[in-house]
Amino acid sequence: MPQPDPAPAVSVAFDQVATVGEGSFWSARRDGLYWVDIPGGKLHFNRPTDGSHKVWDLGRPVGCVAETEAGGIVAALTDGFWHLDPDTGDMRAMGGPAPGTVEHRFNDGTVDPAGRFLAGTMGLTPEAAERGEGTLYRFDGTEAVEVMGGFKTVNGLAFSPDGKTAYVSDSNPAIQTVWAYDYDVDDAAWTNKRVFFECHDWPARPDGGAMDSDGCYWMAGVSGWQLLRITPAGKVDMEIPMPIEKPTRIAFGGPKRDQLYVTSIRVDAPDQADSGKVFTLSLPGITGVDLPLMRI
């Protein structure tokens, strides 16, 4: 499998430890990385240039977050969508579904090219996952619309640089598949579903997705110690070994968007003392695409 030569140096970016680190994206406005600890209900922000760190306790598990055009944060929590003012810490309810039960919660999310927040849910128990009750929602700030259902674990949401292709995965061990759709930005329609990449022959399952400026899809290979870069044709053209078993999501950051930041899950193992932290690496010539801002 193609690997960069020389292999990139992977290092710990920040010292904070999450139980399940996820939801990362780079904020151009604040010049730093937002990311969450899902079960801990924490939103973190790290600015690499000055080493500063801030954390907000959201009070309940958080699946994913998005930054608004005005600089606020919209968080998908167990009791629906909430708005956070990161400067004051004030929170207000915005509505939407409340999937937080012993069986369900929000998981992965992204923002489409028109500024709509997309957030998907997952089953927390084997019984809930087997029923396929995971759902992808679209939220415009006032109303949440069900886009599609039938998932065990919604994951891997991303859009191609031109906004014409949407990606979504199901990371449940029984599925392990990434799909591509034609996407109509004007009416938010997902059509022409096709298999983009299957992970059954790989050690990793598909977790969070990200796009680079070449239109390649980056997959965090949870449980597989790796990151994969997949071309628009669905072929792996780069495999990056990771020092931890469970990387969860990739975000491109830094002034030139040429730094990869990778969240992870905490694993209780002697050889993974840094698991649960955010890692960083860079690859010459590869830059990422910013997540759009949410319009509300």
From the annotation, which residues make up the binding site? 22, 105, 107, 155, 207
Do 264 and 249 touch, CB atoms closer than 8 A? no
List, as residue ranges, the binding site for substrate: 105, 107
Reading the block at residue 204, the tokens are: 């990793």
Report the C-alpha gap between 207 and 149 in whole angstroms: 18
List, as residue ranges, the binding site for a divalent metal cation: 22, 155, 207
Do 63 and 119 touch, CB atoms closer than 8 A? yes
Q: Which class for 243: exposed (0-12), middle (13-18), buried (19 or more C-beta within 10 A)?
A: middle
Q: Is 184 part of the annotated catalytic residue set? A: no
Residue 49: phi, psi to the nearest 5? Answer: -65, -35
* Ramachandran class of 150: left when φ > 0, alpha when ψ lies in -120 to 50, beta otherwise: left
Tell me, what amino acid is at 231? T
Choose the catalytic residue: 207, 212, 214, 290.
Answer: 207
- DSSP-H helix ranges across 55-148: 126-130
Catalytic positions are: 207
